[in-house]
Structure 1
Amino acid sequence: MNQPTNRFSIKQVTLAVMASLAITQPIFMQSAMAQQSDEEEAIEEVVATGTRLKGTATAVLEERKNQAFVADILGSEQISRTGDSDAASALRRVTGLTLVDGKFIYVRGLGERYSSTQLNGAAVPSPDPTRNVIPLDLFPADIIESLSVQKSFSPSMPASFGGGNVNIRLKTIPTQFIFNVSGSLGYNTENSGDALAYNGGDKDWQGRDDGTRAVPSSIGSRWQNKQFLDSLEQDVALSLLRDVNRDYDPFLKSIGPDMGFSFSLGNSFDIDDKWRYGFLLTSSYDNKTNVSQEYELQQADRVQDSINLVRFFDDISVTETSVKWSNMLNLGIDYNRNHRVDYSLILLNDTRDEISEKFGNTENLSQAEGLRIRDVEVEYEERKMFTNQLRGMHTFPQFNFAGVDWKYSLGRSVRNAPGNFESRFVISDENNDGFFDASNEIALNNSTTAARYSFQTLHDRLENAGYNVSLPYSIGNWEMEFKFGADFLSKTRTAENRRFDINTRAFTGSELLVGDSFFSIFSDQVLADETNFSGAGPAIIRDTTIAGDDYAAGQKVDAYYIEGDLFFKNKWRFSGGVRFEDFRQVVAPFDPRTNQFDLPDEADRSQLAFQEDDFYPALAMTYIKDESMQFRASIGQTVVRPDLREVSSSTFIDPLTEFPIAGTPGINTTSIINYDLRWEWYREAGNNLSVGLFYKDMDAPIESVQSPAQDGPPLIRIANAETGELYGVEVEFLQGLDFIGKGVWDNIFVSGNLTLSDSEILLDRQSIVEQTGVSAAVTNLKRRLTGHSQYVMNLQGGFDSDNGEHSLSVVYNVFGERILIPGIDGFDDSYEQPFHSLDTVYKFYPNFNTTMTFKIQNIFGESKKLEFENVLLRSETKGRKLSLSVKYNF
């Protein structure tokens, strides 16, 4: 037997890095790689040892290494390894990123407005009415190929950039036939025992309402014809109320396990060694229930050195069910590996169904008066996103490997909240035994707003097109690539909100309100007996739709850029260019009753429109000391613009704090100059270490401030601070433990990252009053940015068995306290407290076709907490989550 010409012992991780390096080299280096092919063919045998685990953690490392601007990359295998179920939860593993409300990413301590999100390099619409950014929990991990977070600005990306740009890159057509299915079961420790529930619709398991919650046609047609529910005759009001769903009473029932399944089917085909075409179809479904106990403080008063709690709910039970499903179809065709066209169709759905029962006090209904309140709330919303994308990538070897890329994306998103409901009951300690009996000493509140129904819809449509031309060129010691391109975006949004209240003062006697069941108090029998209601008194239904509940918005961005990437002797790299953006936006709030603009008498309609155009330059330099070490520096000028609702005068509820937020017409954009320095050391077998410094100089940062409340939670207003700055250091590493010894240590690695940073903004009370038109008794005129954490840490350790059948990962994440609600009236800012997240994921590969995954999340059983001055403002239990999934490849 002839011996091979060469024999190497190469770890699998090294092979992964080598493969990645081959894929990510610039175009002008491809010819040099081709010259090395003969030498590569001489390797007839490779003995691979090492771990699958570490290979997945480093396979995307070379892409980051070859980026001209600072970026972090997460591959699909890394996401699978940590057991994250969607893009949002996966991104919190990236250096300097924190996750807020399970949906929104804060990059380097900057709020979600300071980050932009793209899908396959294209903009997509947002189904969230409170924010202009996309809730990243919409994107399940099953369809993600990789996540790229670029932290320094380059001219080819949108100039609306503060903390970073997140590009979600979806899976595309496979190189060979794939067909796999998976199923999962999960359990949350908070779900043990019985939990709150209510009678929903028959199609709730599908994530869509069957009409149970929807506004009845008798009321919907009146609203459509501008006949609002004002000053109704009592018989008409009773007739309309009989058509409304009144069965929202909570009851207890056992909670079943969380369930999910997914499948993928794809293949590619070759024709005459030149043409290749293929497809990939993926589909997933996930149904989860979370039960939690919460606490909510709405108002406190300071009396000298003590703080008195005025309005609060100290006993809150919540059951939230989420139904998510996704479908993705990719079609692709490739000619001679130089010309490729891909089409993607993505359909995503996320339905949230929540019922809560809250016991507490108000100023007038308090335990000191022998009274307690019981609120029942139902919140149901369906969020859907539909996107069509067409992309082309063309390389022309005959023109020195010049390239042309283009894209076209058309998408829309819908948010439908067909029937949210809330009601208030009053519990009185009638027998003075100190016990408030919520079953026998209770009655529906006798007020004009004993209950409220609300119906909301939002539609976004976004069209995005663009192209990029790259021209490689070589001369002497210089290898260069020049790019120019354009990006065109057009976005429209329409939103409607309708509501009406139940006025129990229409009853002839308060004894009719006794009981804890809204459905019984407003039964068909009660409503059919008109003697129960005062004919001359107020109507049982009162329309509370207000001006500003409807709004329309439009946005257009025309952008052009030019960029260069220059290598000198493979030691120095200079990248940079400039982007020009022409930005136009209009936000028009309407009075639903008149369909006219909702503007104060003294306001000018011109404040509804906004236009700006400017140049946004960027420059990056990299010194490549050798193959293992490089130094980076970059500077770029960017802008952050207010969200669509933030420039509208209408009010909306922030789902994160549950506080009302009012926009501010005429708010200014934020100008930012971004500085980055980074040292990167890529060592043997994929081990690496990097240290980065960053600084951001901000002019007129967009911030939130409180306005003193009259009743209920405080009103949050959007305003500009005077100046702001953010600075910090990032450290990231990956290290195998084989240096400790042989054997089991060869199969273990640790990785992690740490971000230490600080920020400061300066506010001016008078400027805020002039901008918002309301009093702003801001406590701290100098403070950190809202949402900024002074530290963020991620640690991961993992193990793979020698036979490759077992792997284990332990993942830890924590962020420092961050301001969520700025303080007023002498009260300090309210901080979300650190959340120590410890998860573990075990994978078993019994054969080549099967993967079994068991994971435990939130091992510490941490709860979410918000505090000010050591006083609890909010708390929510999260529970420990356990899940088991099985995946089979056919």
Structure 2
Amino acid sequence: MNKPENRFRVTPVTLAVLASLTLSQIALGQEGQENPNEGDVLDEVVTTGTRLKGTATAVIEERKNQAFVADILGAEQISRTGDSDAASALRRVTGLTLVDGKFIYVRGLGERYSSTQLNGAAVPSPDPTRNVIPLDLFPSDIIESLSVQKAFSPSMPASFGGGNVNIRLKTIPENFLFNMSGNVGYNTENSGDAFSYNGGSQDWLGQDDGTRAVPNSIQTRWDNKQFLDNLDEDVALSLLKDVNRDYDPLLKSVGPDAGFGFSLGNSVDLNENWRIGFLWTTSYDNETTVSEEYELEQADRVGDSINIVRFFDDISVTETTVKWSNMLNLGVDFNRNHRIDYSLILLSDTSDEISESFGNTENLNLSEGLRIRDIDVEYEERKMYTNQIRGMHTFPSLNFAGLDWKYSLGRSLRDAPGNVEARFVLADANEDGFFDTQNESSLNNSTTAARYTFQNLHDRLENYGYNFTYPVSLKNWEIEIKVGGDFLTKTRSSESRTFDINTRAFSDSTDLVGSSFFSILSDEVLADTSHFNTTAIVRDTTIAGDDYVAAQKVDAYYLEADLFYKGKWRVSGGARFEDFRQVVAPFDPRTNQIDLPDDADRGQLAFQEDDFYPALAFTYIKDDSMQFRASVGQTVVRPDLREVSSSTFIDPLTGFPTSGTPGIDTTSILNYDLRWEWYREAGNNISIGLFYKDMDAPIESVQSPAQDGPPLIKIANAETGELYGLEFEFLQGLESFGDGVWDNIFLSGNLTISDSEITLDRQNIVDQTGLSAAVTNLTRRLTGHSQYVANMQAGYDSANGEHSLSVVYNVFGERILIPGIDGFDDSYEQPFHSLDTVYKYYPNFNTTLTFKVQNLLGENKKLEFEDVLLRSQTRGTKVSLSLKYDF
């Protein structure tokens, strides 16, 4: 592209500040005037201030003008910290912690206590165990800002505990935009060879080519309700031959992580009234993570000591993730008063994991000269498709009344075709103390030597609504009345099929000798019936409740008023009415009948409630820089779809079997907030907030002792609960330390200190769940609550605008993930000290080079109880380099 010779020079810092000022004007509803002298050239622009301060101006201005307490994170702030998705970015927000890399806990409340919206609309979740959206689905490249509203307002969903997260995607650009980017990365844990297996030819695309899928011969039987029960020997062998058995771990070198991105957009004026535009973005990322793990499954207490009974002390895991994101925005604007936007968002996230685990059980242990070796392959594709159309209209002739409306239709899919696990037994035959994987190994001789699982889930969510605002001026009063409606319909269907390999079908156990699953069950072996007795080698282990359907419908209306008095006092409030209906029906796949024979239990599967949810907020505006806030609001938290079904599922967060409870009560929460905000010169600011939540019947996890294997987690109501704390946040430049380099350095951070307490009643839990409740601590903190969360960032921007450096630190206090039973204390996830650094180089107007190092301290994840290690996982240090060019 030829560039004009007389173009003026503007440093990146200048552009950031100018862009932020433009954004803040847009946020305030101000339209800039076109330059009448288009041919004039600006020779030079001189300004001071750091890049973060400049680009943070818009989001700070928006937060300042919010009627209810909210925290906002802008695109430049996300880029500055180097976070790759919405989940990792949100942990930088005051009081937020990240769990399992996907779910956000706001103010220490679990993911069920927060709601998530995309451009102000609800979207479906591809997680089979939760209603909430895994926030790692949303790459940071498509995010304009993240808004976390912590104080309830009537225009928000009433299912509001910790807060509402609104992911606001990038919109149509003001001018022509075309850029491309690429990145490579490396993790220190990936050095050398790592485990892999023979997958499909399209794995690099994040799409299974049918290699892992259930064969047609078995799928046809399932479709016809002919399950793999009591099969004849020859039929079972024939079916097994159709199944992919090539899942043996292979050692392969790990290549670098890689990705690319692309954006194209523009806006054009058709005439003096009409303007149209578009934005198209796409990105791809392929990343491999290698880790070493430890997992304790069962411990027994003998006097004052704890005996480790069942454990895996040597686990090697390789996980490859492939992510695609595509977004298309189309927009039309009429006379700057009427705008309609259409968005199509396509997100795909595929995880492919293989692990090899060595350990012991009660029956297979070191004292018997035995070890176990488990092979586990977990593959899942998560996809989300969302269509959104939004309208924003201003009517000058009606005193500048406004009408906003939205319609969103989304689908999410989860496909897990062919998760496989197999167990081998290692015997130290020569008693040398070394377990030879190759020569002292055999496939476990049991009815469950291996297990195949095939799962799929489909969510469909339709959400539409409207919001009408009317401003009124009365002497010293400026009033805005807001009336709106919000309507949501959600349906979900989930299906799971499982069958096991029964190696007791072999006539001679010596046929099980070896370390290769594929060799022991090769086509040649299966074709020779002399190896087998009359026992079927395949048996169906699909259970009742593996299939379920669910539906949810919410009709909501709200009235809200925002009143200003003399520009000093602001009163905002109103009420929301919600009519909520939900039904969940677990099915027995063999009969296609509801898996609840008791009519009373069936009646509990359907749930309906309607109520009013009021909120009120006060703001005292001392001057342009300082204000004081106070708010109170009544909200509710309802159980997830699976939490009201008695069917059992495996919780991916804990790995434990989890069962819902029909008839579980909703949680009522009374929320209080106080905050002082001081917005000072040059973008410096400080805020201090207090919050308190009074909870009735909080939904919690409890455990019931299991006969064999890990304990069963049940969902139950505690009696009461409370949460309270303090939040502190600041942004401060160091220019006061002197002239020169100090002018370009800033510090920012936040700290949350809080506590919580819930009270449980053992007998009420027994009555509610129908199971024994050997809860150790009847008074404890909320599950997932950290007593402190801290974020710190130090940043430097060079005077010439060509370099920027950020050092970012995050830590959370220990939090309960698994409540204790049978006298064992609760299991706490230990603090994780995350230290990252991001360096950016701007060699010219068009180019950005980014060098990023994450987890500089090499921290590992740990879960402990009573100083006993329950689980651990190495994370490694990740280094990445990316290049972005704007044409």
- Residue 469 of structure 1: aligned partner: 468
Q: Distance in 2 between matches of 1:778 and 1:486?
A: 43
Structure 2: gaps (5+ residues): 1-12, 37-41
- Quick check: 1:698–1:723 contact (8 Å CA) kept in 2? yes
- Residue 367 of structure 1: aligned partner: 366
What do residues 351-399 of structure 1 show as CA deviations (whole Å, max 9, x unaligned)?
0000000000101111011111000000000000000000000000111
1:569 and 2:566 equivalent?
yes
The residue type paired with residue 562 of structure 1 is L
What do residues 460-518 of structure 1 show as CA deviations (whole Å, max 9, x unaligned)?
00000000000000010000100000000000000000000000000000000000000
- Quick check: 1:230–1:542 contact (8 Å CA) kept in 2? yes
- Residue 217 of structure 1: aligned partner: 216
Q: Distance in 2 between matches of 1:89 and 1:105?
A: 9
- Quick check: 1:69–1:620 contact (8 Å CA) kept in 2? yes
SS of 2:526's equivalent? helix
Q: Residues 723, 271 of structure 1: CA spacing in aligned structure 2 closer, same or farther, 3 A cutoff?
A: same
1:699 and 2:702 equivalent?
no
TM-fit CA distance, 1:13: 8.2
1:637 and 2:640 equivalent?
no
Q: Distance in 2 between matches of 1:93 and 1:199?
A: 39
TM-fit CA distance, 1:657: 1.2
What do residues 690-732 of structure 1 show as CA deviations (whole Å, max 9, x unaligned)?
0000000000000001111222221111000000000000000
Q: Distance in 2 between matches of 1:372 and 1:64?
A: 58
Q: Superposition RMSD on alpha carbons, in Å?
A: 1.6
- Residue 578 of structure 1: aligned partner: 575
What do residues 619-659 of structure 1 show as CA deviations (whole Å, max 9, x unaligned)?
00000000000000000000000000111111111111111
Q: Distance in 1 between matches of 2:795 and 2:80?
A: 9
1:517 and 2:516 equivalent?
yes
1:24 and 2:23 equivalent?
no
- Quick check: 2:280–2:327 contact (8 Å CA) kept in 1? yes
- Quick check: 1:333–1:341 contact (8 Å CA) kept in 2? yes
- Quick check: 1:12–1:50 contact (8 Å CA) kept in 2? no
SS of 1:767's equivalent? helix
- Residue 820 of structure 1: aligned partner: 817
Q: Distance in 2 between matches of 1:466 and 1:611?
A: 21
Query: 1:158-177, aligned counterparts within 5 Å?
Result: 158-177=157-176
Query: 1:120-139, aligned counterparts within 5 Å?
Result: 120-139=119-138
- Quick check: 1:852–1:886 contact (8 Å CA) kept in 2? yes
User: Normalised by the size of structure 1, how large is the TM-score?
Assistant: 0.96
Q: Distance in 2 between matches of 1:734 and 1:627?
A: 17
- Residue 460 of structure 1: aligned partner: 459
1:448 and 2:457 equivalent?
no
- Residue 532 of structure 1: aligned partner: 531
Query: 1:528-607, aligned counterparts within 5 Å?
Result: 528-535=527-534, 538-601=535-598, 603-607=600-604
SS of 2:109's equivalent? coil
Q: Distance in 2 between matches of 1:12 and 1:798?
A: 18
1:857 and 2:854 equivalent?
yes
Query: 1:216-235, aligned counterparts within 5 Å?
Result: 216-235=215-234
- Residue 317 of structure 2: aligned partner: 318
Residue identity (%) = 80
- Residue 880 of structure 1: aligned partner: 877
TM-fit CA distance, 1:89: 0.5
Q: Which moved more, 1:657-666 or 1:11-20?
A: 11-20
- Quick check: 1:332–1:340 contact (8 Å CA) kept in 2? yes
- Quick check: 2:21–2:57 contact (8 Å CA) kept in 1? no
- Residue 727 of structure 1: aligned partner: 724
1:649 and 2:646 equivalent?
yes
TM-fit CA distance, 1:438: 1.5
Q: Distance in 2 between matches of 1:223 and 1:467?
A: 45
- Residue 4 of structure 1: aligned partner: none
- Quick check: 2:17–2:51 contact (8 Å CA) kept in 1? no
SS of 1:846's equivalent? coil
- Quick check: 2:495–2:548 contact (8 Å CA) kept in 1? yes
What do residues 718-772 of structure 1 show as CA deviations (whole Å, max 9, x unaligned)?
0000000000000000000000000000000000000000000000000111111
Query: 1:74-153, aligned counterparts within 5 Å?
Result: 74-153=73-152
What do residues 42-74 of structure 1 show as CA deviations (whole Å, max 9, x unaligned)?
x99974122223212343100000000000001
Structure 1: gaps (5+ residues): 1-9, 38-42
SS of 2:735's equivalent? coil
- Residue 845 of structure 2: aligned partner: 848
Q: Distance in 1 between matches of 2:24 and 2:145?
A: 16
What do residues 781-823 of structure 1 show as CA deviations (whole Å, max 9, x unaligned)?
0000000000000000101111111100000000000000000
- Residue 621 of structure 2: aligned partner: 624
TM-fit CA distance, 1:11: 8.9
User: Normalised by the size of structure 2, how large is the TM-score?
Assistant: 0.96
What do residues 387-425 of structure 1 show as CA deviations (whole Å, max 9, x unaligned)?
000000000011111000000000000000000000001
Q: Distance in 2 between matches of 1:435 and 1:186?
A: 37
Q: Distance in 2 between matches of 1:666 and 1:394?
A: 44
- Quick check: 1:14–1:685 contact (8 Å CA) kept in 2? no
SS of 1:23's equivalent? helix
- Residue 684 of structure 1: aligned partner: 681
Q: Which moved more, 1:707-716 or 1:773-782?
A: 707-716
Q: Residues 20, 355 of structure 1: CA spacing in aligned structure 2 closer, same or farther, 3 A cutoff?
A: same
The residue type paired with residue 22 of structure 1 is Q
- Quick check: 2:686–2:731 contact (8 Å CA) kept in 1? yes
- Quick check: 1:681–1:690 contact (8 Å CA) kept in 2? yes
- Residue 269 of structure 2: aligned partner: 270
Q: Distance in 2 between matches of 1:273 and 1:814?
A: 53
SS of 1:819's equivalent? strand
Q: Distance in 2 between matches of 1:383 and 1:240?
A: 28
The residue type paired with residue 508 of structure 1 is S
- Quick check: 2:634–2:670 contact (8 Å CA) kept in 1? yes
- Quick check: 2:803–2:841 contact (8 Å CA) kept in 1? yes
- Residue 10 of structure 2: aligned partner: none
- Residue 342 of structure 1: aligned partner: 341
What do residues 440-464 of structure 1 show as CA deviations (whole Å, max 9, x unaligned)?
1110010000000000000000000
- Quick check: 2:20–2:56 contact (8 Å CA) kept in 1? no
- Residue 811 of structure 1: aligned partner: 808
- Quick check: 1:53–1:799 contact (8 Å CA) kept in 2? no
TM-fit CA distance, 1:20: 4.8
- Quick check: 1:12–1:48 contact (8 Å CA) kept in 2? no
SS of 1:657's equivalent? coil
Q: Distance in 1 between matches of 2:318 and 2:457?
A: 25
The residue type paired with residue 522 of structure 1 is L
1:205 and 2:204 equivalent?
yes
TM-fit CA distance, 1:578: 0.2
Q: Which moved more, 1:186-195 or 1:47-56?
A: 47-56
SS of 1:664's equivalent? coil
- Quick check: 2:20–2:55 contact (8 Å CA) kept in 1? no
TM-fit CA distance, 1:600: 4.1
- Quick check: 2:49–2:682 contact (8 Å CA) kept in 1? no
Q: Which moved more, 1:47-56 or 1:292-301?
A: 47-56
Q: Distance in 2 between matches of 1:881 and 1:505?
A: 46
The residue type paired with residue 332 of structure 1 is G
